[in-house]
């Protein structure tokens, strides 16, 4: 069964009279409960693809089917209504929130807009959401600016799961976090997936992060999809030059004490 | 190796802050070594870089000592090059690439503008900028992030400083470009026999080429020692946590492998 099918998607930008092909004839599928890692260097088109999927940019050509329906033809109230099923978490957690908001109002909005819980039950639901992402219930009253970067990303995840989506698009969702916090957020995402069957499209330039959570991987280069396959297969035996470069670029932790200085002193 | 700089009881407190960003630091920097300063946000690693370079913002309170073997503090630009994380804010947006690289050479090597431009062109070639003659005329916004960082490196090294400080110089770049810039820095520092102070949050990146690592947390030095030794037998719990948090392609994934 397919949850999401992207078919022959294309997008061009014109910049100073020059045509740039950002996404060129890309087709992808994603199944329920599956994580697809979308990787590529800067300018590969992966973020443009994600933005088209989130309906933040129009496509020039191609189609997207989501939960069996034409996703790109939705508009107005229909689109707003259906957005409950496809949520997103961005890299810049502070930029993704109204800076004057409290944690409670950030979580209340989706519950209200998508009519998930009647008004009387919302405080309890907010407490449950906070608990689910590992934050104490009394965080509800805090300002979104008062909490740390890792906590803010937990709140962004709570906001995303509030509408009971089938798909969450994660756009560099852990890239700005310290490594010790990053691992905890990745663990939380995997737990939520196992518990609720959510699918993730995880966009990142960091293959090591994608390795931790992705079942399959899609590699983009210069707007094209150049390679796709099971995660393990692609990192063990990359076929395209772009995938080989990405695999090669991941820094390895060298711990051999016998190596000595790496250069002549 | 002779000691280049002895840092004793160095504390830095930013204006308006009560807690110090760097708290009673003792650390020696040896001439010619490649030292990686590793830490997470708020560890004080960038504060140390700025204190060493004399680039702390006005109003920052500094206590303790930095004793330089040369007698005086190194002059930024001449004795010490600095590469920042974000070249789009460290480069001047209204100066051409050629002007900003030539500027340091003209001022510190006392070259004429003509000589300084010729030197800048050579530097741009050396850092691997494509079409260096065209790039001389370009403005920073016309270049990609990786190319801008190459320009920033050329500008930092234009006056042939003996010390290079790279403060998260590759963190804003994608992985492939990061690997290219790291190997460029490695080449240039090796070739010129510079002392390198490499500030990073990425313990694996540092493990690839630093002689010595210094692990920072909450403004304090947690531990320091030869890279291989600290990473293979860390003494402190925090160092062990950092090592355990590292993920690369060999780390077991968090999900079950088979596609559902």
A76 touches chain B (CB under 8 A): no
Confidence of residue A93 (pLDDT cuts 50, 70, 90): low
In chain A, which among 133-152 make CB contacts under 8 A with chain B?
Answer: 149
Residue B114, pLDDT above cutoff 80: yes
Edge-to-edge, what's the strand order for the sheet holding A86-89? A86-89, A167-171, A199-204, A35-39, A216-221, A224-230
List the one residue out of A57, A10, A31 whose CA is nearest residue A225. Answer: A10
Q: Return the minimum-mean-pLDDT range out of A13-22, A150-159, B144-153, B223-232.
A: A13-22
Dihedral over alpha carbons B76, B82, B88, B93 (to 10 degrees): 30
Q: What is the ipTM of this complex?
A: 0.87
Contact across the interface for B207 and A255, Cβ inside 8 Å: yes
Q: Tell me the average pLDDT across A125-145.
A: 95
Cβ distance of A179 and B242 shorter than 8 Å: yes
| Interchain pair B228, A149: CB under 8 A | no
Of A31, A190, A265, the CB nearest to B254: A190
Distance of CA A219 to the CA centre of its chain: 15
Nearest-Cα residue of chain A relative to residue B195: A265
Report the residue from B144, B232, B241 with minimal CB separation from A255: B232
Q: Does A75 touch chain B (CB under 8 A)?
A: no
Distance, in Å, from the CA atom of A183 to the CA atom of A172, rounded to the nearest integer, reads: 14
- Does B173 reach chain A within 8 Å, measured CB to CB? yes
Q: How far is B77 from chain A (nearest CA, A)?
A: 24
Q: Which residue in A211, A250, A253 is closest to B231 by CB distance? A: A253
Structure token digits, residue A181: 């916090």
Give me the residues of B, 131-160, that contact A with CB < 8 A.
Answer: 144-146
**Residues A35, B255: C-beta atoms closer than 8 Å:** yes
Average pLDDT in the B21-25 region?
97
Please enumerate in sequence order all residues whose Cβ is within 8 A of that of A209, keeping only pairs 6 or more positions apart, or say none: A174, A175, A182, A186, A202, B247
Q: What pLDDT, on a 0 to 100 scale, did the predictor assign at position A257?
A: 53
Q: With H, G, I as helix, E, B as strand and everything else as coil, classify residue B11.
A: strand
Geometric angle at alpha carbon A195, from A192 and A200, rounded to 5°: 45
> What's residue B258's pLDDT?
59
Work out the pLDDT band at B103, boundaries 50, 70, 90.
very high
Q: Distance (Å, rounded) from C-alpha A253 to C-alpha A237?
A: 21
The residue whose two tokens read 């978490």 is: A89
3-state secondary structure of B200: strand
């Amino acid at each position: 069964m397919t949850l999401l099918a992207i078919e022959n998607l294309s997008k061009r930008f014109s910049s100073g009279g020059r045509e740039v092909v950002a996404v060129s004839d890309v087709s992808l599928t994603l199944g329920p409960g599956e994580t697809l890692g979308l990787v590529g260097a800067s300018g590969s088109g992966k973020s443009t693809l994600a933005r088209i999927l989130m309906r933040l940019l129009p496509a020039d050509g191609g189609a997207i089917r989501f939960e069996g329906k034409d996703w790109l033809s939705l508009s107005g109230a229909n689109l707003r209504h259906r957005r409950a099923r496809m949520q997103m978490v961005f890299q810049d957690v502070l930029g993704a929130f109204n800076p004057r908001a409290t944690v409670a109002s950030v979580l209340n909005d989706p519950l209200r807009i998508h009519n998930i819980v009647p008004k009387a039950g919302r405080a309890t639901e907010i407490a449950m959401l906070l608990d689910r992402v590992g934050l104490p219930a009394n965080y509800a009253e805090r300002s979104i600016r008062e909490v740390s970067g890792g906590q803010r990303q937990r709140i962004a995840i709570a906001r995303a799961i509030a509408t009971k989506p089938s798909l969450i698009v994660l756009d560099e969702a852990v890239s700005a976090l310290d490594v010790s916090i990053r691992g905890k957020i990745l663990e939380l995402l995997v737990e939520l997936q196992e518990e609720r069957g959510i699918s993730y499209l995880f966009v990142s330039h960091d293959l090591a992060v994608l390795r931790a959570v992705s079942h399959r991987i899609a590699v983009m280069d210069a707007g094209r999809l150049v390679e796709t396959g099971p995660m393990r297969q692609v990192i063990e035996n990359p076929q395209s030059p772009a995938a080989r470069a990405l695999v090669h670029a991941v820094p390895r932790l060298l711990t051999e004490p016998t190596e000595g200085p790496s250069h002549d002193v | 190796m002779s000691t280049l700089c002895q840092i004793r009881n160095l504390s830095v407190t930013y204006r308006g802050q009560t807690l110090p960003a760097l708290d009673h630091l003792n650390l020696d920097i040896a001439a010619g070594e490649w030292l990686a300063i590793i830490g997470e946000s708020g560890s004080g690693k960038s504060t140390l870089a700025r204190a060493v370079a004399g680039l702390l913002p006005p109003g920052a309170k500094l206590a303790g000592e930095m004793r330089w073997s040369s007698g005086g503090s190194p002059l930024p630009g001449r004795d010490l090059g600095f590469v920042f994380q974000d070249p789009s804010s460290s480069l001047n947006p209204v100066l051409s690439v050629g002007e900003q690289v030539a500027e340091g050479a003209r001022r510190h090597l006392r070259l004429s503008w003509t000589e300084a431009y010729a030197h800048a062109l050579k530097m741009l070639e050396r850092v691997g900028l494509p079409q260096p003659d065209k790039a001389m005329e370009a403005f920073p916004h016309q270049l990609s992030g990786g190319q801008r960082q190459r320009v920033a490196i050329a500008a930092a090294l234009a006056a042939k400083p003996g010390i290079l400080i790279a403060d998260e110089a590759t963190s804003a770049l994608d992985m492939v470009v990061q690997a290219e810039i790291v190997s460029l820095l490695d080449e240039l520092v090796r070739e010129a026999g510079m002392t390198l102070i490499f500030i990073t949050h990425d313990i694996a990146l540092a493990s690839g080429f630093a002689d010595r690592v210094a692990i920072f947390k909450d403004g304090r030095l947690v531990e320091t020692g030869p890279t291989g030794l600290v990473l293979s037998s860390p003494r402190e719990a925090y160092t062990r946590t950092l090592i355990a948090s590292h993920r690369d392609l060999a780390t077991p994934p968090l999900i079950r492998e088979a596609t559902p």
